[in-house]
Structure 1
């Protein structure tokens, strides 16, 4: 990974990475855990979102992917899902726009006739050395992408979600331990934890489960889009397992939270972070 160059745009492009993230294990066996389900995944074109999408497809779900402008990655993911024998709707647009989020949900329902699983996953992050270096523009972009969109997508989805359906939010290890160079990003991830817990209580009476996944250092396009080459060579080496994780090591957690396997779980967070002990 030390050969990677910093990418110039957020949230990053997977197809240009020299060390391509692993999306799904070759020996992962689907067992129809999500047969007949429809999932909408924001930021589903690459990284963790792509992994969740392909795992869902292998488990029998049809997919709608929301992405910003990474057309090549989105089409690659679409082909990977079709290779699993499932459909994949690509929805291009900016999740900072509430109107677009509502339209994305509607397009999904128009295509498939229903919606069962919502994965709020889209995110950006801008690393800075000092608090004063956080620009107003980047602050707004980070909050509007990372947490506002979760409200927009989920509000639009509520009309279609029913008993047994699931909402899964992507938070981060930084929500629990902070990050001195990603203060705004980690703040949004903390908000996602609270959003998850609060919404789970509200929707429990409707038997709609709301949970989250808190990844640690996972090798995705967001990483070379965030950090300089010098920092990339040590990425993930400070966790007990001594290495970054792959999206393929996170995707199965989304399957668990989307399926009946987690039928007695709501308001919880699964920590996949290479062994870092996190309270909460």
Structure 2
């Protein structure tokens, strides 16, 4: 059982840091037992240095996968800690510093993964950003373009570069958001990108499922990651007071509760599932 952790007002600056969060996040439960679901597999996880990405990397490692993680230059400290945690599971870990908004950078990331591990079996498009804007007329062109470049362009570039290396029983998992379904008024650009990710997931699944490649998404509800104090908290620290308390479960999720969702979609446990979205969101019914 995950106990409710009370979150109080706080703030950071983007891209955020795990070390500065209070309380600290949980990435994997002591009770989680790996069973070789991903033995011999190679996974690339964007934004794997912290939050949901870090949890996914640790869970994949415990299930036997080798892991490549992309991160920004500002996230080097978090990335090194993620690498330490992955390697503590007995897995290989490759860190790649990369600004994924650029096509050539994404192409190079895939090349590095193939050159290092000789294969790629799972692509987790997890990296993303958000900014609060409560007035559409004040949402700048720069913010709009950056949100789409970070959340959508990178996903497209990486997926296109990865597809030639994927085959039967390989997987693509896209991190969407509950906000694609509920549309919070202060995250218009972010919510629009997450809605696009859902549609991208469905269409790409229809295109490649005949090749045995499964494409699915995860749409988390409020989860305690550095993105929250670095965006919501940066706008107004009080936005994080009792963060997640509005869910039916009355609390925010921990990254440790998201990692197993990605394991399920990456493994043969989900062999008859493609084009779908999982909703780990604390009990909110979104009918999507």
What band does the TM-score fall into relative to the shorter chain? over 0.9
Partner of 2:119: 114
**C-alpha distance in 1 between matches for 2:230 and 2:30:** 27
Contact 1:4 1:18 in 2 (8 A): no
**How much has 1:5 moved relative to structure 2?**
2.4
Partner of 1:48: 52
**How much has 1:104 moved relative to structure 2?**
0.4
Of 242, 247, 252, which residue of structure 2 is paired with 1:239? Answer: 247
Partner of 2:29: 25
**C-alpha distance in 2 between matches for 1:2 and 1:207:** 43
TM-score scaled by length of structure 2: 0.95
Partner of 1:252: 260
Q: How does 1:157-176 map to 2 (within 5 A)?
A: 157-176=162-181
Q: Which runs of 5+ in 2 are unaligned?
A: 1-5
Q: How does 1:70-109 map to 2 (within 5 A)?
A: 70-109=75-114
- Deviation digits for residues 90-134 of structure 1, max 9, x if unmatched? 000101011101100110010000000000010000011111221
- Deviation digits for residues 230-264 of structure 1, max 9, x if unmatched? 11113111110000000000110000000000000
**C-alpha distance in 1 between matches for 2:124 and 2:7:** 31
Contact 1:2 1:229 in 2 (8 A): no
SS in 2 for 1:169: strand
Contact 1:142 1:184 in 2 (8 A): yes
Aligned positions, number = 279
The alignment yields a C-alpha RMSD, in angstroms, of 0.9
Which is richer in helix?
A: 2
Partner of 1:62: 66
**How much has 1:3 moved relative to structure 2?**
4.4
**Structure 1 stretch displaced more, 148-157 or 132-141:** 132-141
SS in 1 for 2:124: strand
**C-alpha distance in 1 between matches for 2:256 and 2:60:** 12
SS in 1 for 2:227: coil
Contact 1:4 1:17 in 2 (8 A): no
**How much has 1:51 moved relative to structure 2?**
0.6
Q: Which runs of 5+ in 1 are unaligned?
A: none
Partner of 1:210: 215
Contact 2:42 2:122 in 1 (8 A): yes
**How much has 1:2 moved relative to structure 2?**
4.2
